[in-house]
Amino acid sequence: MSDAPPPSRAPRGRRGVSASVRAWFAWHLQSLVSSLGDLARRPLATVLTVGVIAVALALPAAGYVALLNAKWAARGWDGQPRVSLFLHADVDEAAASALARSLQGEPGVATVRVIGRAAALAEYRSMSGLGEVADVIGEGAVLPVVVEVMLRDGVPEAQADAIATALGQLREVEFAQFDLQWVRRLAALMRLLERLGLVLGGLVGLGVVVVVGSTIGLRVEARREEIAIARLFGGTNGFVRRPFLYAGLVYGLAGGALALAVVHGAMIALDGPVAQVAGLYDSGFRLVGPGLDGAAILVGGGGVLGLLGAFLGVRRQLRVVE
């Protein structure tokens, strides 16, 4: 007798594993098809539920896109410290140039530039787009000479504040504007908006879970007799729960996709007016969308929330049925 194992043992094991995997996929596919069919038989309720989820998810998504565009619009503000010195009206450009030469080379100072009255008027005309107002200013008003002091990169904030304070106390200076303060305020505002967006997103996510959980709970209650019969024939909690979980997943994915479509539709509607306003200010700003990553997070997040809501809803209702 040969000592070799029977040749049919290994193939039988592989066939058994393959059959188990096919059966697992078949069960899940059957549950998915059953869920889709059940949703299709209730088109009005399905559309209303998906619409509520889409509106809820579109709110934080729109806030995220607005914050993203605000950061994109402020991309030119790199945060380099700059002090604008507005000189007294009786200080001419020659005295301003002498002041600029005296400031060049001071500790923490990178470059110094003098903006004369004519250059200031031309800059105002080009940046504001108010040519008629600029002409009136040029005819009667006298603009001050401005000395623009750029500080070195990496200067500590305390030192930058001290330099700005010292420059503002010069006898030729009427008013000193430290532009880094606006950058700090903008950064603080952005951080506040991000935190508010996270809070709003959390509340909206909780609302989506509640909506899906309540909807799935009602469906479980409506099929209470079917669940009881399935239990009599040995149906497990996983077998009973699976179609409802797929229904919640479909709700969430469809709601996320519809929310993404709403956000893109709003961007298309606003793109023309925004481009027109940007053109008036000689800016190349254009609206930017959430991108592929943002779209995947929105749709996938909706699916996860729908799945979680369905799991909680069916779990609570199954306890009542039991």
Using CA atoms, how far apart are residues 3 and 135, in angstroms rounded to an integer? 107
Q: Where in the chain is the domain with CATH 3.30.70.3040?
A: 82-178
What is the Cα–Cα distance from 157 to 135, expressed in whole angstroms? 39
How do the pLDDT tens digits run along the chain, 322 residues long? 334 444 444 444 555 557 676 766 666 677 677 777 777 778 888 888 899 999 999 988 988 888 888 777 665 555 567 788 888 888 888 888 888 888 887 888 888 888 876 766 666 555 544 445 445 544 444 577 888 888 887 677 778 778 888 888 888 888 887 866 666 777 788 888 888 888 988 999 999 999 998 888 888 877 777 777 766 766 666 677 788 888 889 999 999 999 999 999 988 888 888 778 777 666 667 788 888 888 999 999 999 999 999 898 888 877 766 6
Q: Give the CATH architecture of domain 82-178.
A: 2-Layer Sandwich (3.30)
- Is the pTM higher than 0.75? no
The 3 state secondary structure assigned to 99-112 is HHHHHCCCCCEEEE
Burial of 38 (0-12, 13-18, 19+ CB in 10 A): middle
Residue 153 contacts residue 170 (beta carbons within 8 Å): no
Q: Quote the pLDDT of residue 302.
A: 92
